Amino acid sequence: MKRIITFLYQLFIFAPIFVVATIITAVTVMIGCLIGNRTFWGYYPPHLWSKLACRLALCRIKIVRHGNLDPNQSYVFVPNHQGAFDIFLIYGYLNQNIKWVQKQELRKIPFVGKASEIAGHVFVDQANVKSMKETIMKVEAQLGEGSSMVIFPEGARTKTGEMGRFKRGAFVIAKEMGLPIVPITVNGPFDLMKIHTYLINPCKLELIVHEPISTEGLTDENMLEFINDCREIVHSGLWEKYK
């Protein structure tokens, strides 16, 4: 009975409101960025939209912050990737003006893809091994506007709930730009919407923001150790069932 009620809620309440809110947000971002301050319009409408998505999904939200972030400092945030709602949880509750490094395929999403492009989010072709330098140049341009970047170092969402290995890309970008890394642990989105499905299962979501880690002194020689240390920090915040 619960699953039937949830399905009906999603079909007749969640989905219509979410679709309309998505279109309104995308159009607002596109118009705002074209005629106004892109740093403002590229962040605040999606920030509110993301909060709405989490609340529409009937989720209980818990935020844990282990360190204070400087609002005038740019960071590279590296969260684990549990599911589609990672984006809404981070965008809605991190409370930092952020831009995303995301897969090229997301550019094809109606309204959202174009709004993301205009807002300055960075699309990367993961099939192109030569794209890292171009990605770094794009990131540098966006960070010049006072934003931070969010990059999923696993590259793709988990299929089991457990974390995958961290790739080098986010850490190379942080090293090249001399920016602190901030590990983030995401709990719950894996259960909220299982991979290969669009059905929601209302649950608790938790966002843990760990202390920033300086990349000063980071070299190619100690890069792997640094990446593993960051991964261990993210892993330490996972609920036991995801470890």
Note down pLDDT in tens along the chain; length 243 residues: 888 999 999 999 999 999 999 999 999 999 999 999 988 999 999 999 999 999 999 999 999 999 889 888 999 999 999 999 999 999 999 999 999 988 888 788 888 989 999 998 888 876 555 566 677 677 777 776 668 999 999 988 999 999 999 999 899 989 988 999 999 999 999 999 988 888 999 999 999 999 999 999 999 999 999 999 999 999 999 999 999
Domains, in order of start, for the chain:
2-242 (3.40.1130)
**Does pTM surpass 0.75?**
yes
Quick check: 109 and 75 in contact, CB under 8 A?
Answer: no
Please give the distance of CA 242 from its chain centroid, rounded to a whole number.
19
Quick check: 205 and 59 in contact, CB under 8 A?
Answer: yes
Quick check: 189 and 82 in contact, CB under 8 A?
Answer: yes
B/e letters for 167-203, b = 16+ CB within 10 Å, e = fewer, are: bebbbbbbbeeebbbbbbbbbbbbbbbeeeeeebbbb
